[in-house]
Amino acid sequence: MEHRPSAKNVLHSGYHHPVLRTWQCPNTIVRPENLMFPIFIIDGDNDVQEITSMPGNYRYGVNKLKEALQPVVDDGLKSVLLFGVAQNLAKDGLATHADSSDNPVMRVIPKLREWFPDLLIACDVCLCAYTDHGHCGILGADGYLDNQASIERIARQAVNYAKAGAHIVAPSDMMDGRIGAIKEGLTKAGLGSRVSVLSYAAKFASVMYGPFRDAAKSAPGKGDRKGYQLPPGSAGLAARATVSLLVAGLHFAYHPVFTHGFCHSIFKRKKCQKNLFHISTVKI
């Protein structure tokens, strides 16, 4: 009788890459393998654009990325986190170009695998940069977020990034049930043991995301994200959100350092919550 482990119980994908194995070990020293370099990939192949809200940081076209990355890889960089930026691609309500063949992230993943074979590649998974309304999911006819349609679309995006060669898919959308949908999709695609899932444990509706939204050109065109991102300071919700991700089989959680000053109440919870939220990326 054949027995298959459920998607949430697959452990191998949490340590399938040498860098991931270092993440699974306790450490108190910041080493190159503990750092992940965020890169904004724009759809103009030869573009290099300074991000005005983040002086000294740039969006790179596919043809410019190798030259930009080579020095930091030579200095010991072990992993990158890719964010797609749609400047010329058409945006629509279904985020068609979130994983199309023209998507800059989809195009650059195979090149990174070729240029830097040992580099761990993670891809942000969210729809906001590709929807015409700038929200992180699919909106229904009534203008409200359709959570089920959203997680199905986000799971397809994650699976397609994985098929392109990503070692990690990193959902940042904050839809209910996204981790389970993504893991099931990876399992059905035969990638359940070869691709890790790293997700926001608790993402707050904070004005401090402003520079990032500028970098990714992903600010909402109307309304806000308070209906699916957490209220600042909501310690109970943050704890519940984290537990729900663990139950769904999440491998790694991360949380932006810049919100720590606004989340001190969460640190007063259990020790395990403090560990989860006190550093930007942790094993769970």
Output the domain CATH number for residue 173: 3.20.20.70
Strand partners for 145: 139
Domain membership of residue 114 (yes or no) is yes
Distance (Å, whole) CA 219 – CA 209: 9
Domain membership of residue 238 (yes or no) is yes
User: Is the pLDDT at 84 greater than 80, yes or no?
Assistant: yes
**How many domains in the chain?**
1
Domain membership of residue 2 (yes or no) is no
Among 36-50, 152-166, 200-214, 228-242, the range scoring the smallest mean pLDDT is 200-214
Domain membership of residue 222 (yes or no) is yes
Domain membership of residue 1 (yes or no) is no
Q: What is the DSSP string of 113-154?
A: HHH-TT-EEEEEE-STTTBSS--SS-B-TTSSB-HHHHHHHH
- The reported pLDDT for the residue numbered 264 is 41
Q: How confident is the model at residue 160 (pLDDT cuts 50, 70, 90)?
A: very high
The phi, psi pair for 41, rounded to 5°, reads -105, 115
Domain membership of residue 155 (yes or no) is yes
Q: Is the dihedral of CA 117, 255, 174, 130 positive or negative?
A: negative
Q: Do 123 and 105 touch, CB atoms closer than 8 A? A: yes
What is the pTM for the complete model shown? 0.82
Identity at 38, one-letter amino acid code? P
Domain extent at residue 237: 7-283
The residue behind tokens 């290099």 is 48
Mean of pLDDT values over 41-53? 92
Please state, as a whole number, how many other Cβ atoms lie within 10 Å of the Cβ of residue 127: 25
Among 15-24, 115-124, 220-229, the range scoring the smallest mean pLDDT is 220-229
**Angle formed by the axes of helices 178-188 and 147-164, to 10°?**
40
Sheet with 58-60, edge to edge strand ranges: 48-50, 58-60, 37-42, 79-85, 120-125, 168-171, 196-200, 252-254, 281-283
